[in-house]
A and B are shown apart, each in its own frame.
Chain A
Amino acid sequence: MSDSSPSPKLLYCRCAYAQVVPQSVKDGVLAKLCDSGTSFESVADLCEMAAHRDERLKAFANTTPIRIAACFPRVVRGLFRQAESPLPEDGVEILNMRVQSIDEVSEGMLKA
């Protein structure tokens, strides 16, 4: 990414409607995002949004580059596609809080 590229937008999913993301990881990542001085967007649950085809998903998909802290990448892409808001192939980084560590996810989200 060149210096002139726009900064990636940040989206954090809390997975609030089911306890499938380790609590410590989602709390830890949120704390790191909060500690940083950066602005970011957070949602209660991308699955809940996809369930009712929330128009915000379209806005997220259209705002690249974007980094998403959520779940398995193929799930996240599938949710957006199912909500008729497919994520573009390029300009999207998905961090997986189900398997990655707090440091891996937060560093991936906040890297320069």
Chain B
Amino acid sequence: MITHTARPLRVVLYEGTGAIALSAPARAQVLAALLDKGYAVTRATAQGSTGFPHDDRSLLVLGQFQNQQAPDLEDATGKVTIEARDITGLETLDIVSLVEKARGNKPMNQPGTWKPWFPVIDYSRCTNCMQCLSFCLFDVYGVSKDGKIQVQNNDNCKTNCPACSRVCPEVAIMFPKHQAGPINGEVVNEEDLRREKMKVDISSLLGGDIYARLRDRSEAAKSRFSKERSADKALEERKKCLTKMAQDGFIPAEVLASLPSPDEIMRKAEEAQARAQAALSANGTPA
């Protein structure tokens, strides 16, 4: 379960005055094991603190303390609960168990059960064209009060689906957990730009066109060519495009399976387009 309000327990591996330093391999093992479980870990040595503010409500301090006796610690402000545990002679797994026990049932996101998958906008490249807002069917994008595109609902993003990044003409949408560049955030080169422009042509067939078709729907209904310009046909084309992207490995098949119903797609498409147009109008940009 994703918990967006809970923060992982902050653990301090204390090796300062009054504590015996761990061996280098043991230290690295303990840190790696705790980090891989999702904890934040501060290594504090005699060379001073890390210098980061201790804004956490609770801290767990681990150390090999003198006489194997963990000290009683108290926050001078009274805002932070500090617990200390002696780890002398404990193996890495024992230390992890100790931390897990200290955490109790406080929720946290466990690595391996959830992947933080969501788009990140590179505003140094973004031109605020709103194509991503129009394209995404899952309401991931929204518009800020000052008319800028932003990621508003990253929980709605479909894991391993970077489809919106492929409609971005400026290669401004990154997915940090994606394997390949430039979507993973690699420096964008000219070849990437050329390739992305081609993808936009593909996506506009379905992403852009579908909205134009929706706008023309009432007129199209009156036309004897309405069959070709129907929203149903546009919807079918969109599905074909997404299927092709899935076949090419650009998006996972699960995304196709989780698409909203056709009616819902149409409703969302109209809403997204309206929001995009409103934002563009407010910004003085022709839609």
Contact = CB atoms under 8 A, between A and B. Distances in A.
A44 B42 contact: no
A54 B6 CA distance: 9
A30 B31 contact: yes
Interface in A9-42: 9-11, 14, 16-18, 20, 27, 30-31, 33-35, 37-42
Q: How large is the interface on A (under 10, 10 to 19, 20 to 34, 35 or more residues)?
A: 35 or more
A63 B36 contact: no
B45 interface: yes
A31 B118 contact: no
A51 B118 contact: yes
Interface of B: 2-8, 24-25, 27-28, 31-32, 35-53, 55-56, 109, 111-112, 114-116, 118, 120-124, 150-151, 154-155, 174, 176-179, 184-187
Interface string A57-79: 00110110000000111110011
A51 B177 CA distance: 12
A16 B36 contact: yes
Contact of A20 (B49, B55, B177): B177
Contacts, number: 162
Contact of B116 (A33, A50, A71, A73): A50
B4 to A, nearest CB: 4
A20 B184 contact: yes
B24 A34 contact: yes
Given A35-B24, A98-B184, A75 B176 contact: yes
A82 B120 contact: yes
5 contacts: A39-B47, A56-B52, A75-B174, A78-B176, A99-B186
A40 B49 CA distance: 8
* Chain A binding surface, main DSSP class: mixed
A18 B31 CA distance: 17
Contacts of B27: 34
A79 B151 contact: no
Given A52-B5, A63-B51, A75 B116 contact: no
B154 A78 contact: no
A81 B123 contact: yes
A27 B28 CA distance: 8
Interface string A89-104: 0000000001100000
Q: Which 5 A-B residue pairs are closest in the complex by CB-CB distance?
A: A75-B185, A72-B185, A52-B4, A14-B35, A78-B120
Nearest to B123: A81
A47 B176 contact: yes
A4 B104 CA distance: 44
Contacts of B7: 52, 54-56
A9 B8 CA distance: 21
Nearest to A86: B123
B116 A17 contact: yes
Contact of A78 (B28, B50, B174): B174
Contacts of A45: 38, 111, 116
A42 B43 contact: yes
Contacts of B3: 52
A103 to B, nearest CB: 16
Nearest to B42: A41
Indicate the member of B111, B123, B154 with the most A CB atoms within 10 Å.
B111
B62 to A, nearest CB: 14
A7 B123 CA distance: 30
A63 B151 contact: no
A46 to B, nearest CB: 8
A39 B31 contact: no
